[in-house]
Structure 1
């Protein structure tokens, strides 16, 4: 498999994204429990819906901002917006003022629509042959952020006791601190003037990927970058990214509430989330190089099968539940990284694809919460199992092709 050693600049982005993962773990992942504590259990999926819909709206906007001003300013602004949202979310939950809590959740979601695009900045900075590997390393770094959240659960509980609230609420303050530190690290990152992969420069405004010099004289006949998510080069990876994100966020957000109903305490629920995060990010060292070697279709097929197993085993209890959360994370990893790798270089489209992914997640959590309240968890789980097969269509529609605008052959 391809070996990869990240530069010091990329390490800053890795750590910033790890902190962002920790912020998400400490706040929005357990937002359903905050809603339950506020006396609105029937709306348990609403915060996640607000987060993901806000991200859907902001993803395209941040994509345009980065296209015009560069990756670094867009990412820093996104992190700072998240800091503001996390602080407002904490105050709203602490003072039991639902509108303010939801406003904070919305701003955090809008921030996610921006800083999650750091994965494209990373992929654009390396050759196409190691893009899967570098994305896998970025995923692996995120485990540190989640582990950091778990390590600080004691101080969070102590602070919560002093403020007469819960650790889920004080987690929003931790999220603000993590995101502020992420903004500082990203500000210290110096993007390459010209990405080594031939993709769009991460630091300077650009409209299209730079063509290799050997093709400069034939630029009029070079393939054009896709301008629509329905373009054949985009729609199949977009389907995999949107499906995996929608299913992952829906089950990740609502399974902790089910576990709480089953009698699990905060520590046990936090353990479920930790296992899930391990599945999402802990095997980046393996999945990234595998995708570089076997192509995106391998990611679509294997990811779909794992998502299917996760949705079905979520119906079970006992040791099956953490197993389900782990498979959910790993299936998401394979589909999401495979799709993101295929989309590298299509700068004008990336924000729109992310918007679709967040929209799918927002609809999933909103509908999922209502389904659980009326019919229970089983119908939701079975529906997710059927939808998990959609990335198989991405695999069927993907054909080996020559690299276009720096995108690796699959």
Structure 2
């Protein structure tokens, strides 16, 4: 690519807007796979397991762990072959994961079902890169909006996923959810068709050692990187901790699978619905302030959950949980974009997502065990100390950067 053509990409947001719309649509379809596993994985696990029901959340944990393991390969593949190649290959893996999960449900093979969920999670590692891909061809002014546009595609995913569960859970009655995972494979095929039209130029090959960017260790030592990564980890991990336990807690309190699926629907809508204006809020009030509001909303989720076990408490907590994730995670993602140069983007984004989803996997895996051993209240009480920690880190960062600015 010529220097003139590359410069035109970053001074004209027309291509960036087109890519953001395509990625938002792909997010709407590809993101639905995650909500399907979240809504049904613990229930399928609970039905398959005969002894240790604490492992019922293992399918969701496997999905998140698959995402964690997929982050570094995603960065390397897309750095070498481009975004579209990586995204389309991941969509094919998503198709395979859906087919294997459906077969596992038919055959009642828990280990195969867990593996299939891990494959879906691996494909999800590439889906997580959609938000960064949307910013690749955007100007600095449009980057927060591009990120929020892509995540706004999750609004549709919040409807598509749970409604797919409700519509297909009895398709092969009496084998519950077998049809749901067959439908999941179909959704991945649709996402693949959308990604064919994506146009993101590969990063130019470095002509010198300086053009390759700084060492990763130097980048991650930046205070802004450390705080943005910590806030991203806590926003996502705390959301995963509470969300993964919620369907099982609802069933344990006498609610139905449909009640749980609808609760996840409201949760995912709350996760992605604010994305239509989160970018504008970040531009107006600042990244750090939006992250702080997100963390406060996560604490509010636990407060509502601790107030009772009626349906309104579960759904209200899930809505606040989604809102908190949106503000906290999008704000932290926007903070992260301040820490790297264009030639460093794939390496830093992959490292950040590896950290985030490694902790999210641990939170998801521990969720079922905590719920089974200590109860629903304990799961929610664990949110508060991490929220306080992240708020303290944000305050420290602001003071540190203010002192650095005065020193200059």
TM-score by length of 1: 0.85
Q: Distance in 2 between matches of 1:369 and 1:394?
A: 29
Asked whether the 8 Å contact 1:123–1:341 carries over to 2, the reply is no
Q: What corresponds to 1:360 in structure 2? A: 359
Q: What corresponds to 2:406 in structure 1? A: none
Asked whether the 8 Å contact 1:300–1:391 carries over to 2, the reply is no
Deviations along 1:343-364, whole A, 9 cap, x unmatched?
Answer: 2343311111111111111111
Deviation, 1:379, is 1.5
Deviation, 1:151, is 4.1
Deviation, 1:171, is 1.9
The secondary structure found in structure 2 opposite 1:129 is coil
Q: What corresponds to 1:381 in structure 2? A: 380
Q: Distance in 1 between matches of 2:83 and 2:396?
A: 31
Q: Distance in 2 between matches of 1:332 and 1:262?
A: 25
Deviation, 1:241, is 1.0
Which of 98, 103, 106 pairs up with 1:94?
106
Q: What corresponds to 2:194 in structure 1? A: 185
Asked whether the 8 Å contact 2:42–2:59 carries over to 1, the reply is yes
Asked whether the 8 Å contact 2:295–2:328 carries over to 1, the reply is yes
Q: Distance in 1 between matches of 2:189 and 2:271?
A: 23
1:4-403 paired onto structure 2 within 5 Å: 7-39=17-49, 41-153=53-165, 155-161=167-173, 164-167=174-177, 169-191=178-200, 193=201, 203-204=202-203, 206=205, 224=214, 227=217, 228-315=219-306, 316-318=308-310, 319-344=312-337, 345=342, 346-399=345-398
The secondary structure found in structure 2 opposite 1:47 is helix
Asked whether the 8 Å contact 2:241–2:367 carries over to 1, the reply is yes
Deviation, 1:277, is 0.7
279 and 155 in structure 1: CA distance in 2 versus 1, 3 angstrom threshold? closer
Deviation, 1:143, is 1.2
174 and 27 in structure 1: CA distance in 2 versus 1, 3 angstrom threshold? farther
Asked whether the 8 Å contact 2:36–2:165 carries over to 1, the reply is no
Q: Distance in 1 between matches of 2:59 and 2:151?
A: 24
Deviation, 1:10, is 2.5
Q: Distance in 1 between matches of 2:115 and 2:146?
A: 34
User: Which has the larger displacement, 149-158 or 288-297?
Assistant: 149-158
Q: Distance in 1 between matches of 2:166 and 2:253?
A: 24
Deviation, 1:366, is 1.7
Deviation, 1:230, is 3.4
Q: Distance in 2 between matches of 1:254 and 1:138?
A: 27
Asked whether the 8 Å contact 2:165–2:261 carries over to 1, the reply is no
Where do 5+ consecutive residues of structure 1 fail to align? 194-202, 209-218, 403-410
Q: Distance in 1 between matches of 2:165 and 2:119?
A: 24
Q: Distance in 1 between matches of 2:128 and 2:296?
A: 25
Asked whether the 8 Å contact 1:35–1:44 carries over to 2, the reply is yes
The secondary structure found in structure 2 opposite 1:160 is coil
Asked whether the 8 Å contact 1:69–1:204 carries over to 2, the reply is no
User: Which has the larger displacement, 128-137 or 87-96?
Assistant: 128-137
Deviation, 1:229, is 2.9
TM-score by length of 2: 0.85
Where do 5+ consecutive residues of structure 2 fail to align? 1-12, 403-408
269 and 231 in structure 1: CA distance in 2 versus 1, 3 angstrom threshold? same
Query: Across the two proteins, how many residue pairs are aligned to each other?
Result: 377
275 and 334 in structure 1: CA distance in 2 versus 1, 3 angstrom threshold? same
Instruction: Give the aligned CA root-mean-square deviation in angstroms.
Output: 2.6
Q: Distance in 2 between matches of 1:110 and 1:220?
A: 32
42 and 234 in structure 1: CA distance in 2 versus 1, 3 angstrom threshold? same
226 and 73 in structure 1: CA distance in 2 versus 1, 3 angstrom threshold? same
Q: Distance in 2 between matches of 1:31 and 1:51?
A: 9
